[in-house]
Structure 1
């Protein structure tokens, strides 16, 4: 199911699709060579925005939930990819410990049930070890549709982490560690911990990811002979911004103004009549700091005041440790008149599925990752790896989905660069 595109079926996005389809053998070989040199994240999910004139990732999640939104038809690809990933890491593995977030909502627990099912079919015994102090004994939760999950208390020995009568070779985190790294996960020398601790939001920064993505997009653009801006959201960054004291706001203003100027030039170059905007957000995914959408630097003071008031009312800090300013990418896709954006799911180096995140109450420049969102599956079980050459651009769902998969894999490759660059145990990537 392809949502109706508000934009005309001509212009840069279809030219980009055509270029990608014509270059499929070149692209696949390029990815293959990249994965010989770099290790993909164990799993990832990428939010993609299609503006009609530009297609770009706006967020890359290295601890993706939402696996329950993938259809059963997508599972075989995911199982095969999980097998490939596990074989590279620990071929003799028989036990997998899955460490989730401390959440009890049905959607998230259904995600855990799906992950458990997936790795079971990949040949592993899978159990869930909770970081919550409230879990002192095995706790089973029944889910709609007959699924159930059992949360168990973690047991830590000097060098290993496990459960009662369960000693895993590999520990998979489905927890982004934004609250910090618990000591129980540190100094594990005899087990594989995936993703690594430095992939969590306790240390990760969006600016590091988009710096790596900028490099990847330039190399990919050169490969295809295209402007990398068509697939890359420009960005600037600031240091600490204190909304209460007003420190850092001048840096914020100057960087917002500079980025808007850059984007306006690109819009003029391509004859785009939309009004550009940028998004201001916490570089470390700070939970108390929302997104600021800015079309003109003159509007920034009003938005900052509103943000300060909202943060204080919510009892949060008025300091965002670091701020990133990112080019805003519209989403001109619709499902039944509701704004939609594709989310691409990957395991190891493979696209395994995805869905459209749809929100009827959000605008084309707003984040759709909010209460009220619903999910419509993408038919990736066939189309993400099976483009249809010869089809007119914009007319084929497999071709559009293949293009989404390419962008998702570019973001995943950037994440591998990012993790190499920030690995505390490796040489600095330059």
Structure 2
């Protein structure tokens, strides 16, 4: 979906009946832009950012918060191509920081064999890296792949998947020996044997894959980051932080862990209601229960009352048994639900912000006609329209500070996304410390 680049009318509308707290946040970020950027810059000195990421945000009008942070992001093809230069420059600077002198990159994708949209993502990512001055090849982990396979995409682009070969402690494709392995595969099913113990640098660190990473650990770091940032600006951290808890030893079919999930859900609903009362919000609180490890929008349940957990039918229980890659769900995060009151032509929309290193390079809206304001918009089998951001997220427009205007919304998104990225950076730092 291509859109004009300069009209506020091309930005999803935001319900205006309860925007007071969000205006407070926007005004604080505009008034303290230099303080915000200086603080973030100092944080990156202390804790460098992972190579790339995407952050799913929810904008309720009265609250803006991240609900997921992906460290192996797909969807680069959905970004506004007007900002490709931002991505190219960010890739150059980030790789020079992480791997000075690196020239050759082997990109390892997910094992999708028929997902044309994902292949478009690979093409865009390869294009960004090549324009940044790197030689890039795409190596497949599919064991059945014995020769190179060219794929012609709907956009007219072409990509070539090549079988990976391991020689001693290095991997390569054909005669191409990379100095860096870039994973666009979240390793939900574990680290493949062919990648174990190789001497080449792998980005992101393989132990940040969903085989070991937990959402609850990420949001523990995020709550700390958001608290520090909110104190700096004199804000209520709840305005940018989803409350959460977790339950282990869960089995939806065997009804194991129900008592924990009901108790934790009740506590979060009660705490959320107190905040709603404080800000005179008339909506009904809800919580989202989802796999603590995993992605792809699988294993996600929204409830407004704890009793709904006991009342799930067999199909819904079955849906909550596995996440991506048929991985069993035994641990869940219970997260405060954040409404999305942004709409595009009456369809529900939610923003996704993309970053290379510490730099915001763009984003898009998921626009979904078949989902509601409290629903998960990123679900398998569901159709959504990507709506590229019409403005970059890296600078506000100080000439447009009127309440309710859209001009500075993208900058606010960029700040909140970078707070989530900082939480991921601290996750990564903890991981590296444990590996020493």
TM-score normalized by the length of structure 1: 0.94
CA drift of 1:70 comes to 1.1
Match of 2:416 among 394, 407, 416: 407
SS at structure 2 position matched to 1:379: coil
**Paired position in structure 1 for 2:3:** none
Q: Which deviates more, 410-419 or 393-402?
A: 393-402
Determine the C-alpha separation between the residues in 1 that align with 2:328 and 2:152.
40
**Paired position in structure 2 for 1:197:** 206
Q: Is the 8 A contact 2:286 2:304 kept in 1?
A: yes
State yes or no: 1:25 paired with 2:34.
yes
Q: Note the residue ranges of structure 1 that are not aligned, 5 or more in a row.
A: none
Determine the C-alpha separation between the residues in 2 that align with 1:220 and 1:295.
30
- After superposition, residues 120-131 of structure 1 pair within 5 angstroms as 120-131=130-141
**Paired position in structure 2 for 1:345:** 354
SS at structure 1 position matched to 2:202: strand
* Partner deviation per Cα, 1:268-292 (whole Å, 9 max, x = no partner): 1111110000001110127796211
Match of 1:183 among 185, 189, 193: 193
**Paired position in structure 1 for 2:219:** 210
**Paired position in structure 1 for 2:336:** 327
SS at structure 2 position matched to 1:423: helix
Q: Is the 8 A contact 2:296 2:378 kept in 1?
A: no
- After superposition, residues 134-149 of structure 1 pair within 5 angstroms as 134-149=144-159
**Paired position in structure 2 for 1:96:** 105
Distance of aligned partners of 1:85 and 1:392 in 2 relative to their CA distance in 1, 3 Å threshold: closer
**Paired position in structure 2 for 1:228:** 237
**Paired position in structure 2 for 1:386:** 395
- After superposition, residues 17-96 of structure 1 pair within 5 angstroms as 17-96=26-105
**Paired position in structure 2 for 1:360:** 369
**Paired position in structure 1 for 2:163:** 153
Paired residues, what number? 423
Determine the C-alpha separation between the residues in 2 that align with 1:335 and 1:36.
39
Determine the C-alpha separation between the residues in 2 that align with 1:340 and 1:238.
30
Aligned-residue CA RMSD in angstroms?
2.0
CA drift of 1:421 comes to 1.9
SS at structure 1 position matched to 2:317: helix
Match of 1:375 among 352, 373, 386: 386
CA drift of 1:247 comes to 2.2
Determine the C-alpha separation between the residues in 2 that align with 1:64 and 1:293.
24
- After superposition, residues 97-116 of structure 1 pair within 5 angstroms as 97-103=106-112, 104-116=114-126
Q: Is the 8 A contact 1:394 1:400 kept in 2?
A: no
Distance of aligned partners of 1:422 and 1:305 in 2 relative to their CA distance in 1, 3 Å threshold: farther
Distance of aligned partners of 1:411 and 1:268 in 2 relative to their CA distance in 1, 3 Å threshold: same
Q: Is the 8 A contact 1:98 1:173 kept in 2?
A: yes
Determine the C-alpha separation between the residues in 1 that align with 2:409 and 2:14.
11
Q: Which deviates more, 233-242 or 277-286?
A: 277-286
SS at structure 1 position matched to 2:72: coil
SS at structure 2 position matched to 1:397: coil
Determine the C-alpha separation between the residues in 2 that align with 1:10 and 1:88.
40
CA drift of 1:38 comes to 0.5
Determine the C-alpha separation between the residues in 1 that align with 2:235 and 2:161.
49
SS at structure 2 position matched to 1:207: helix
* Partner deviation per Cα, 1:199-243 (whole Å, 9 max, x = no partner): 100100000100000000000010000110000000011112122
Determine the C-alpha separation between the residues in 2 that align with 1:164 and 1:363.
48
Distance of aligned partners of 1:221 and 1:252 in 2 relative to their CA distance in 1, 3 Å threshold: same
**Paired position in structure 2 for 1:11:** 20
Q: Which deviates more, 403-412 or 389-398?
A: 389-398
Determine the C-alpha separation between the residues in 2 that align with 1:158 and 1:410.
40
Match of 2:172 among 153, 162, 176: 162
Distance of aligned partners of 1:336 and 1:168 in 2 relative to their CA distance in 1, 3 Å threshold: same
Distance of aligned partners of 1:309 and 1:394 in 2 relative to their CA distance in 1, 3 Å threshold: same
* Partner deviation per Cα, 1:254-280 (whole Å, 9 max, x = no partner): 111111111111111111110000001
SS at structure 2 position matched to 1:218: helix
Determine the C-alpha separation between the residues in 2 that align with 1:312 and 1:254.
20
State yes or no: 1:302 paired with 2:311.
yes
Q: Which deviates more, 32-41 or 300-309?
A: 300-309
Q: Is the 8 A contact 2:53 2:73 kept in 1?
A: yes
Q: Which deviates more, 101-110 or 218-227?
A: 101-110
